[in-house]
Amino acid sequence: MSVRIAIIGAGIMGADHARIVAEDLPGATLQVVCDAAPERARKIAEEFGAADVSIDPVGTIGRGDVDAILIASPDETHAPLSLAAIEAGKPALCEKPLSQSAKECLVVIEAEVSRGRQFVQLGFMRRFDPSYRDMKAGLDDGALGHAIMMHNFHRNVEAPANFTGQMAITNSAPHELDVARFVLGADYTAISVFQPAGINASRTGAPVFMVLETDKGQLVNIEINNNAAYGYDVRGELVGEKGSIFLNAPVYIRQNGQLMAYERYATDWRPRFAEAYRLQNKAFLNFVRTGVFPVIASDAWDGYCASLAAEAGVEALRKGGRVTIAKMDKPSLYH
Ligand code: ISE
Q: pLDDT digits over 230-277, tens only? A: 999 999 999 999 999 999 999 999 999 999 999 999 999 999 999 999
Contacts of 252 (CB under 8 A, 6+ apart): none
Ligand 1 centroid from CA 220, angstroms:
19
286-324 b/e (C-beta count within 10 Å ≥ 16 → b): ebbeeeebbeebbbbbbbbbbbbbbbbbbebbeeeeebe
Task: Say whether pLDDT at 201 is over 80.
Answer: no
1-124+273-297 has CATH 3.40.50.970 classification:
no
Ligand 1 centroid from CA 167, angstroms:
10
Q: Write the secondary structure of 213-235 as one string of H (helix), E (strand) and C (coil).
A: EECCCCEEEEEEECCCCCCEEEE
- Residue 49 has phi, psi (to 5 degrees) of 70, 40
pLDDT in tens, 77-107: 999 999 999 999 999 999 999 999 999 999 9
What pLDDT, on the 0 to 100 scale, is given for residue 164? 77
Q: Which of 122, 127, 171 to mutate to test the pocket of ligand 1 (most atoms within 8 A of CB)?
A: 171
pLDDT in tens, 277-323: 999 999 999 999 999 999 999 999 999 999 999 999 999 999 998 99
What pLDDT, on the 0 to 100 scale, is given for residue 240? 98
Q: Could you tell me which residue, 49 or 200, shows the higher pLDDT?
A: 49
Contacts of 85 (CB under 8 A, 6+ apart): 61, 69, 71, 91, 92, 119, 120
Kindly list the domain boundaries of the chain, sorted by start residue: 1-124+273-297, 125-267+303-332
Report the percentage of the chain scoring pLDDT > 90: 93
| Lining residues, ligand 1, CB within 6 Å | 156, 171-172, 175, 226, 269
What pLDDT, on the 0 to 100 scale, is given for residue 25? 98
Q: How many other CB atoms are there within 10 angstroms of residue 65's CB atom?
A: 11
Q: Which CATH superfamily, name and number, covers 125-267+303-332?
A: Dihydrodipicolinate Reductase; domain 2 (3.30.360.10)
What pLDDT, on the 0 to 100 scale, is given for residue 166? 87
Residue nearest to ligand 1 atom 12, measured at CA: 172
Ligand 1 centroid from CA 96, angstroms:
9
Task: Say whether pLDDT at 184 is over 90.
Answer: yes
What pLDDT, on the 0 to 100 scale, is given for residue 270? 97
The minimum-distance atom of ligand 1 relative to the CA of 234 is 8
Q: Could you tell me which residue, 162 or 214, shows the higher pLDDT?
A: 214
Does 125-267+303-332 match 1-124+273-297 at the fold level?
no
Residue nearest to ligand 1 atom 7, measured at CA: 172
Range of lowest pLDDT (34-38, 123-127, 150-154, 251-255): 251-255
Q: Read off the pTM.
A: 0.96
